[in-house]
């Protein structure tokens, strides 16, 4: 049983489109995160939600909007996709100061 799952695994789309990535965790953690990994493998946090409430919101274009319908889900919606949005997006979950558990990633390619 996968602890943190993401869908889709791959996403290829045209510039200007709107897309969503879904994340689900079955670890019972209160906190969930979205990270972006660029082509050089650099990882940067985007958002953090604790019990459906936004905690961390790094400098991310407002085209990116996270939504947490419940504690086990954190989805990422991206409007008006741009070439520079191409990256791997990772969902993660974990407790305060504790180990984070990462999903397998969603590879987004914007053409």
Partner 1 sequence: GNSVTQMEGPVTLSEEAFLTINCTYTATGYPSLFWYVQYPGEGLQLLLKATKADDKGSNKGFEATYRKETTSFHLEKGSVQVSDSAVYFCALSDPNEKLTFGTGTRLTIIP
Q: What is the distance between the alpha carbons of residues 94 and 110, in angstroms, rounded to a whole number? A: 30
Nearer to partner 1, 38 or 82 (CB): 38
Hey, what are 90's tokens? Answer: 């990772």
Which whole-number Å values give the CA distances from 3 to 55, 91, 106, in the listed order?
22, 11, 16
CB 3 within 8 A of CB 27: yes
* Residue of 14, 42, 69, 70 that binds partner 1 (CB under 8 A): 42
> Of the two residues 4 and 78, which places its CB atom closer to partner 1 in the complex?
4
The residue among 64 and 89 lying less far from partner 1, judged by its C-beta, is: 89
- Where does this chain bind partner 1 (CB under 8 A)? 4, 31, 33, 40-45, 48, 50, 55-56, 90, 92, 94, 96-105
């Amino acid at each position: 049983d996968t602890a943190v799952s993401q869908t889709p695994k791959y996403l290829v789309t045209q510039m200007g489109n709107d897309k969503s990535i879904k994340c689900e965790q079955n670890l019972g953690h209160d906190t969930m995160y979205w990270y972006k990994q660029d082509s050089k493998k650099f990882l940067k946090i985007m958002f953090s939600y604790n019990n459906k409430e936004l905690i961390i919101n790094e400098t991310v274009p407002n085209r990116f909007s996270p939504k947490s319908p419940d504690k086990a889900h954190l989805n990422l919606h991206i409007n008006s996709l741009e070439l520079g949005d191409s990256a791997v997006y990772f969902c993660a979950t974990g407790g305060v100061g504790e180990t984070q558990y990462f999903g397998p990633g969603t590879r987004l390619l914007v053409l």
